[in-house]
Amino acid sequence: MGVSSRTRYPYVLKPWYFSYWTICAGGALLFVSYLSLRQGGSLDGGNWLHQQQLLPPISITGAQHVEGNVWGGYWQADTTFTAPPTAREVHPGPWKGSCYDLAAKAPQPFSELYMPRHAPASTLPGGAPRAWHQWAGNISWADFQEQATPRLAGRRKKRVIKYKVIGNQLYRHGGCGSSLYSQFAEEMMLVALHLFNVPDTDFALQFGDSCPFPGMPVIAFNICRNNTGRGGFTMPSYRTWQHALGPQQQQVLHQCFAAKYPTDMSQRVPDVVWRGSTTDPFFDEFNKSTYLQAARVKLHYMSRNSSVLNTRLTGILQATWDVEQILSPTLAKEMPGEDSMKHAAIIDLDGNGWSDRFHSLTHYNTPVLKQASNFTGFFEHLIAPGHSLHQFANDLSDLEEKAQAIVRAAHTPGGADHLFSQAARRQGVSAAMLSQV
């Protein structure tokens, strides 16, 4: 499949080759997938990692439902993950690139993990759903035909594509053309059809930043939790799939983090860090009258009067010329994402919709302070506040207080251990849920 050549973002080769046979007729596109083993790859980072052990994939061993400040609450998930050794026991070698690049170059053995299953996917221990969804009642054919169509949602246009599964083959309505996002989604669907026998069905996927309208029976990269009982269904986002690693590659990733970013707060900057651009879920374009209402602009200016908030904009998007003139002189240089682990904690904030970097942050061995939001990716219900991360109010009103508390805790006896234990639980969920299957 040619996805990697069509995007400027890195794409991790999966253990399958994808070959599509396409037949265009009657407004539908038939995909026939051929999957074969992809072997190869080598560690370019020298021999500094532990002797690689072929460990079984990380799994979730238990999940307890807890209430939260968004509809539906969360599950406190526990896994078989064990945090890698500290930097005193792992000695870095000559590798100077990112840990992610190192892990992506590591060989991923083709194992039974990638083979077809003889049973359908089940819920997780404790009854937690594998992918967040919110739908009460049945979906009538009339509702599906009427609702699962392109429309405006919260000001941004949505592209909705209808699909069929017939005889475990995938058909797409709407001709032969496809976007990059739909190509990633279709690759995921072909893997699902390879792993499981899927009954004949009709379904629709929505592509875009913001959530489906309540009552739209579509699968999307994120949905908005709400009290209607009909928020929709989630699947991994295109970026989550694009960056997905295999179990052994994840092991390399986490070991590299342990080596480069030790869990010793005395070696970290005593602040809470964030870098980003001026995207926002409520404004298509900022102007001089509205830009100070945007959460990311607020966060940028909060750092001026704080001893612990290291929060700066690095780019300007969706802004009028006069706003660009105001913000441009205040911008900071971009920071490599992994270098945020040099700080006591990391802030995560919504963008145009869901936080597109959160799937990366879940792998980091660093406390995360996340904005409370009803935007929900497929796995985020398993990252419970107080168990795997800390949370601050959607309007940022308690962020300074929460950041101060984390920095204080990080430098008190037992406080850092507690924070890093939370980070390890989050890493466990990421290893269990964000692999290539």
φ/ψ (deg, to 5) at 61: -100, -20
Distance CA 241, CA 382 (A): 18
Q: Are 346 and 379 in contact (CB under 8 A)?
A: no
What SS3 state is found at 279?
coil
Distance CA 254, CA 247 (A): 11
Taking every pair of Cα atoms in the chain, the longest distance, rounded to a whole number of angstroms, is 68
| Residue 80, pLDDT score | 95
* 299 residue type, one letter: L
Distance CA 172, CA 28 (A): 5
Residue 119: is it exposed, middle or buried by C-beta count within 10 angstroms (0-12/13-18/19+)?
Answer: exposed
What SS3 state is found at 386?
coil
Q: Are 252 and 92 in contact (CB under 8 A)?
A: no
Q: Are 342 and 269 in contact (CB under 8 A)?
A: yes
The neighbour count for residue 62, using CB atoms within 10 Å, is: 13
Sheet of 309-315, strands arranged across: 309-315, 269-277, 343-348, 368-371, 390-392
* 133 residue type, one letter: H
Distance CA 268, CA 340 (A): 10
Per-residue pLDDT for the chain (437 aa), expressed as one digit of tens each?
A: 333 333 334 556 666 655 555 554 444 445 544 444 444 333 333 333 444 456 678 999 999 999 988 888 999 999 999 988 764 444 555 567 899 999 988 888 777 888 888 778 888 999 999 999 988 888 888 878 776 555 544 445 567 888 888 888 888 876 555 677 788 888 888 888 888 888 998 898 888 777 777 778 889 998 888 888 888 899 998 889 889 999 999 999 999 999 899 888 999 999 999 999 887 767 778 889 988 988 899 999 999 999 999 999 999 888 889 999 999 999 999 999 999 999 999 999 987 666 678 999 999 999 999 999 888 899 999 999 999 999 999 999 999 999 999 999 999 989 999 999 999 999 999 999 998 88
- Structural domains of the chain, ranges and CATH numbers in brackets: 3-39+114-242 (no CATH), 247-433 (3.40.50)
Give the containing element (helix H, strand E) for 186. Answer: helix 180-195
Residue 130: is it exposed, middle or buried by C-beta count within 10 angstroms (0-12/13-18/19+)?
Answer: middle
Strand partners, 206: 160, 220
Look-up of token digits 């913000």: 327
Cα–Cα distances (Å) from 29 to 25, 32, 110, 194, in that order, read 7, 10, 30, 18
The neighbour count for residue 384, using CB atoms within 10 Å, is: 24
Distance CA 228, CA 249 (A): 40
pTM for the full model? 0.87
| Residue 312, pLDDT score | 96
Distance CA 110, CA 332 (A): 43
The neighbour count for residue 161, using CB atoms within 10 Å, is: 22
